[in-house]
Amino acid sequence: MKYYVGIDIGGTKINVGILNGENELIANKVAPIPEDKSCHSVLEVAADTLCLLLEEQGIEKRYVFSVGIGVPGTVSSDCRVASFVPNLGWRDEPVADIFKGLTGFPARVLQDSRAGAYGEYKAGSGKGSNALICITLGTGIGTGLVIDGKIYHGALLSAGELGHIPVAEQGRPCGCGKQGCLECYAAGKGLDQTAKEFYGGDATARDLFEAAEKGDEDAHFAINQAINMLGKVIVSAINLLSPDCLIFSGGLSAQTELYLKPLVQYIREHSYKTEGQRELKIALAQWKENAPMVGAAIFGKENTVGRKPMLSASVMCADQLNMAEELEALTDAGIDLFHVDVMDGHFVPNYMIPPEMVKAMSKVSKIPLDIHLMVDNPDMAIDMLPLRSYDIVTVHFETSRHIERTLSLIRAKGAKVGLAINPGTPLSAISELVNSIDMLLVMTVNPGYAGQKLVNGAFDKIKRARKMLDDAGRTDVILEVDGNCSFENIPKMYEAGADVFVVGTSSVFHKDYTYETATQKVLDSLK
């Protein structure tokens, strides 16, 4: 099982969460920002919190694939450096490198509002939209844009700063160094200032809303003035970008009657709309305060360079009469997946593990089954398999006349979808299918038997397969190789771009090693 970590670093707290491969939140833990707000100190707290959370959930570090970190400030174009985080006083801090040094996990950094928008786009209220604006109404105003499936950063990396659009000439001073910015009037800190001007002392936005609820006309007027300012800016953004989804999050969005409903009404009344145009979806963030953490995790998952290598043990090489004990021993050795070859004697010249045996294995296996169908009728075999959501079923491109339909059968049963190609099959043959799969399996021997030598051009084909996936924007697709994954070949395969290695008699099942020592030998070669 793979897990993906999201970390949202705010002005006062750090929210650390763990997602599974389905973008479901497993658990999260919140810690306060330390008194020493230096980058290293804050990341140390984040790292300690993550380690504690993993321990509480019983998740081993080797199953953590990536980390995404959201920060309240500007981030470099390579998503590694926090260029400027004013609330914490950070400038040009190498966040990704520091965190990797503390934990060993590869990380990517993202501005928190954009992380929130991406979380809602991928797994929240904005799922299925084409262009999304997510506005966080909190102490300030944060805005994230997702257009055509990609976070929009802008050429100058400052897209979405709606909170710093000027709305009042020679107005209130803003933390950005300008005057009269929108968030100085329509966000939490702006309404705090308004309350102080009305009531003096330590009055806050809460006092302003409470007064309005009691019928105070001045409070109503001040809140409506803020709504009109914010509404005009949002309408301008809608008219400019023509999104199909607008999402609100943050503490102020909880002020439904006095703030959010009038704001939505203003937006609907003033936004440009043509006859027959479908309605703009306006919704609250499904993930609420967790949206930036969830979005950071998904962003890290999709953009982390330097993938974590995984070993898939070919159980055809195990002792077939003691399979349960073998699976337990391999799991204890640190194997990530069990590679289960199902062969019918037609597509390949061998017979192997039948569906009934696969069913028995799924009952005792604590880790995912990597089921490799080398059969002439994969549709029938898929129907016979007992599958779990984290199992992978791989079919050969060469076995199905209607391969897209076959892949959809796997998806319908709730498992991960894999596609395999033989050494003689060109990558161009499957270029149209990369958006339908979770894993691509490149055969580096002709399928059917263990112990074969690599075919010519194997390493180059792995490299070209990785490039094909990356060029298609499918950096999240796992690249597996099967065939002579030996102690010597695995480092070269990894360098070429492979993620998962089907290990058999030339490595983990090598007669001169125990499963544990052989597994460690492979992992040591990849450090």
Q: CA angle, 219 as apex, 217 and 223 as ends, to 5°?
A: 115
Q: Per-residue DSSP letters for 339-367?
A: EEEEEBSSSSS-B---HHHHHHHHHH-SS
How far apart are alpha carbons 291 and 299 in whole angstroms? 12
Question: Is residue 479 within 8 Å of 459, Cβ to Cβ?
Answer: no
Please provide the size of the chain in residues: 527
Q: Between the CA of residue 440 and those of 169, 199, 466, what are the distances in Å?
A: 58, 64, 9
Axis crossing angle, helix 39-57 with helix 95-103, rounded to the nearest 10: 40
Cβ neighbours of residue 457 under 8 Å, at least 6 residues apart? Answer: none
Q: Per-residue DSSP letters for 168-189?
A: STT--B-TTS-BSBTHHHHSHH
Question: Is residue 300 within 8 Å of 4, Cβ to Cβ?
Answer: yes
* Residue/partner pairs of 213-218 with CB below 8 Å, 24 or more apart: 213/258
The secondary structure element, H or E, covering residue 199 is helix 188-199
Q: Is 341 a catalytic residue?
A: yes
How far apart are alpha carbons 505 and 314 in whole angstroms? 9
Nearest alpha-carbon partner for 71 in 43, 105, 52, 47? 43
Nearest alpha-carbon partner for 290 in 18, 3, 2? 18
Cβ neighbours of residue 55 under 8 Å, at least 6 residues apart? Answer: none
What is the Cα 511 distance to its own chain's centre?
A: 39
How far apart are alpha carbons 84 and 89 in whole angstroms? 8
Residue 377 phi/psi, 5-degree rounding, is -125, 75
In the 3-class helix/strand/coil scheme, how is 388-423 assigned residue by residue?
CCCCEEEEEHHHCCCHHHHHHHHHHCCCEEEEEECC
Q: Which candidate in 336, 341, 370, 391 is catalytic?
A: 341
Q: Is 482 a catalytic residue?
A: yes
3-state secondary structure of 72: coil
Q: Tell me, what amino acid is at 162? A: L
How far apart are alpha carbons 169 and 167 in whole angstroms? 7
Residue 318 DSSP one-character state = S
Q: Which candidate in 192, 391, 482, 499 is catalytic?
A: 482
Which residues are catalytic, by number? Answer: 341, 482
